[in-house]
Structure 1
C-alpha cells in the first residue's frame, strides 16, 4: 500500500490515454502520472462513436494539468472547465470525467484509503446492481425483439445471480403508435414477467424512441400491468416539461438523465419534478464530484439515483465508489465481464455476490491495468447500431 504524507508536494507530470477495443465499443482509459515514484491514477473517458474526439480532447486538456497537485480536484475541475474558454459539451465533459476519475484514484492511493472514504464515507454495506440481456453483448442488448430470445436471455441473466435486468425492446417509433406495435410491446413484457417471476425487477429503456408524449404513454400503458421497476428515457432528453407531463400520467416510475451533462442540465428536472429517478452517467457528466452535486439536489427533489453505466471497467469502479457514498442511490447498471478477456486486461474492485457489489477496501479506485494485455486490443471502429433506426417508408428516427 502506497502512502504519501499530506505535507509532501505532489505534481502531475503527464496525462495519457489508452484505447482498448472491447468488440462492440472502445474503452478510453486515462492515466495521470505524478512525480512521486509509483503514484499514478487511472480513469475512464469512454463515449460511443466519439473515441478519437475524446482521446484528442484529453490530450488538448493535458497542458492545463501539468505541475498541479492532483489532490486539488475542485480547483483542477474549475481550470478545465473555465480555461477551456468555449463551453464543453459531451465530448469535453467525458474527457474531464476520465481525468477526474484518475485524480480520485491518486488521492485515495496517496492516503491509503478507498475513494469512497473521500466522497463522504460509507452509507451502505453493498451496492445492488443490474445488467442487460447478453450481459454486455451489445447486439443482444439492442437487437433482441424475438420473444423466445427475450425469455432465454433473461433467464440466463437470472441464472448468474442478478435479480434485476434491463431490456431495450421499444420499436423504432415516430409521433404515433400502431395497435400492432402496442400489442408487440405488451406481449414482450408479459413473456419476460412470466419467465422471471414477480421477484425480479425489469427496467425498460425507451432510448428516447417515441417522438411524442402520447406515443410514449401508449407504450407505458402496455407495460404497467407487468410492474416495471421504471421506464427509462421515454422521450428525447432536454425537455423537462415533456418528462413532467409523462411522469404525472404514468402509473409507474420514470427515469432519465444519461445524456445530460453537468448539474445545469439536470437542474430543470429538479425544478419541474420531472422524473422519479435520475440517471447521471459519471463517465460523461463531469465526474464524481459533479455527480455528487447532482445526487444531493435530486435528494432534495425526492428523486432516487440510478447511475447509467454501460461503459468499461474503470467507469464501473468509479460508479461503485459513488454508490457506496450516496444516500439516495437506488440501483447500478453494470457490464462487468463484457468480453472474454476482461480479467486479463484489468483488475477491478467490483466483487459481486448475488445481486450486489461488495464494498471495496483497496486504496483509490482499486483498479489496475495490464498495459501489455490492453495493447493487444487496439482501436477499431465501433458498430453503428443506429443505422437500423429507419421506418419502412424511409423516415430516419431516433435510435
Structure 2
C-alpha cells in the first residue's frame, strides 16, 4: 500500500475555518481524513501541508511512527504550531486509513477500550463566540448556562476573567466572584464548571487573586491561569491554588510538556491532538502525565474530524478526565460531515465503525469556502491603551 496524494479541504464554519486533510492511496476506494484547523492560520497551515506532502508520497500509510518521524526530521527547521498542526492533520488521516484497512475503529489500534463512555463538556453559548468571550453580565451568564444544561450537559466552560495586566483592582476581582456565585447557584452542585483564564493574568499574583474568588464555588478546574511556557509560574499557581489547575492547549509535542511533569506544575494537562503532533504524540504525553499523577482533558474547540480523533484517543487513554467538544456548531454540520460522536446527556458513546468513522460530503463542503476569520481581540486593551493577552 502506498500514499498517492495529499489534499486539503477548507470549510468555513462561521466562527473558524475547518482544515480537512485527505490522504489517498493506491488501494481502490481507500483514503483517510484528518483535521489541521488552526484559528487565524488557515492559509499558513494549508501551505505547510502542501510543503510536507512530497516527503510522504509513495510511503505505506500504515507506518505512522515512521512517517511522523520523517515529517519532523526531514523538515530541517524546528516546527512550531503551524507545522505541528499540519502534521497532526496528516497523522489523523493515516490512522483513519489504518483502521479502515483492517476493519477496526482506531481506538482498538491504540490499545483498546479503557472506558464504556466518554464524558464531554461544551462552552457557554454552545459555540457562539460572542457568548463565550463577552458574557460578563450575571443575568446573561445565568440564562446561557441554563441553556447548556437544558441540552443535557452536566459540565460547561466559561471565559469571564477580565483582560488583565500585572495587577487587578478589588472591584474586578469581586465581580468575578459574583459571576461564579451566580453560575453555581443557577446550575447547582451536580454540574461541573470550568473557568478558562486564557492566560490573561500577567503575574502569578493576579492569577491567584482571581482563583481565590472562584475556589469557594468548587470549579472542576481553572484553565491556563498564566501564559504557556512559564513552567515555574504555573507551578507556583498550582501549589497555592485552592482548586485544580489545567493547561497545555498551546504546547507543541512531548518536549514542551515534559517540564510540567518534572516539576509537578499541573493537576490536569490539556494537549490539543489537532496541534500537538497527533494522536500518537498525545498518547506519549498522556502516559507521562499518568506517571506524574495528572489527568488528561484534551483541548478541542476545533472541527468534527478533530472531535472524532479525540473520541478515539479518549476511549483508549486510562487517565482521561473529560473532553471539550463543539458538535453541531453550525446549522449545516450534518450536511457536510458524518461523525462517530453520538451524545447521550454529557457522554459520547464508544464508536464501532472502522477508522475514525468520518464521512465528508465534498460537494456540500464546497458550499462553504474559505473566509478570513474574525479576530476577537478588540477588547484586549487596558484603559490606558496597554495591549494585553487575549
TM-score (norm 1): 0.97
List runs of 5+ in structure 1 lacking aligned partners: 1-9
Residue number among 276, 301, 305 corresponding to 1:310 in the alignment: 301
Moved over 3 A (4+): none
State the shift of 1:136 in Å. Answer: 1.3
Partner of 1:294: 285
Give 1:186's aligned residue. 177
Q: Does 1:367 align with 2:358?
A: yes
Q: Residue 145 of structure 1: CA displacement? A: 1.2
Q: What does residue 5 of structure 2 align with? A: 14
* Structure 1 residue aligned with 2:141: 150
Residue 391 of structure 1 corresponds to 382
TM-score, normalised on structure 2? 1.00
Aligned to 2:317: 326
| Deviation string, structure 1 residues 35-80 (Cα, Å, up to 9, x no partner) | 1011000000000100000000000000011000000000000000
Match of 2:36 among 30, 41, 45: 45
CA RMSD between the two structures: 0.5
Aligned length: 390
Deviation at 1:139, TM superposition (A): 1.5
Aligned residue runs from structure 1 range 198-209, under 5 A: 198-209=189-200
- Structure 1 residue 341 corresponds to structure 2 residue 332: yes
Structure 2: distance between partners of 1:139 and 1:122: 37
Q: Measure the CA separation in 1 of the matches of 2:374 and 2:131.
A: 13
Match of residue 236 from structure 2 = 245
Q: Distance in 2 between matches of 1:174 and 1:107?
A: 48
Q: Take 1:113 and 1:367, find their aligned partners in 2: how far apart are those partners?
A: 13
1:232 to 197, 200, 223: 223
What corresponds to 2:274 in structure 1?
283
CA apart distance, 1:144: 1.2
User: Which of 46, 58, 61 is the equivalent residue of 1:70?
Assistant: 61
Q: Distance in 2 between matches of 1:137 and 1:119?
A: 33
Displacement of 1:134 = 1.2
Query: Aligned-pair distance for 1:386?
Result: 1.5
One of 108, 112, 115 as aligned partner of 1:117: 108
- Equivalent-residue separation in structure 1 for 2:368 and 2:133 (angstroms): 23
Measured in 1, the distance between the counterparts of 2:161 and 2:349 equals 33
Q: How far is the alpha carbon of 1:388 from its aligned partner?
A: 1.8
Partners of 2:112 and 2:137 lie apart in 1 by 44
CA-CA distance at 1:16 after TM superposition: 0.3
Partner of 1:86: 77
Write the distance in 2 (CA, Å) between the matches of 1:217 and 1:95.
36
**How far did 1:387 drift?**
2.5
Structure 1 counterpart SS, 2:378: helix
Q: State the 1:359 CA deviation.
A: 0.1
**2:326 aligns to what SS in structure 1?**
coil
Structure 2 gaps of 5+ residues are none
> In structure 1, what is the Cα distance between the partners aligned to 2:197 and 2:81?
21
Selected match of 1:25 from 16, 22, 28: 16
For 2:377, what is the secondary structure of its paired residue?
helix
Q: Residue in 1 aligned with 2:26?
A: 35
Identify which range, 65-74 or 387-396, moves more after superposition.
387-396
Distance in 2, matches of 1:96 and 1:176, equals 39
- Superposed displacement of residue 207, structure 1: 0.2
Q: Distance in 2 between matches of 1:306 and 1:143?
A: 24
Could you tell me how far apart the structure 1 residues matched to 2:194 and 2:294 are?
A: 17
Distance 1:142 1:36 in 2: 46
CA deviation vs aligned residue, 1:274-321 (integer Å, no higher than 9, x gap)? 000000000000000000000000000000000000000000000000
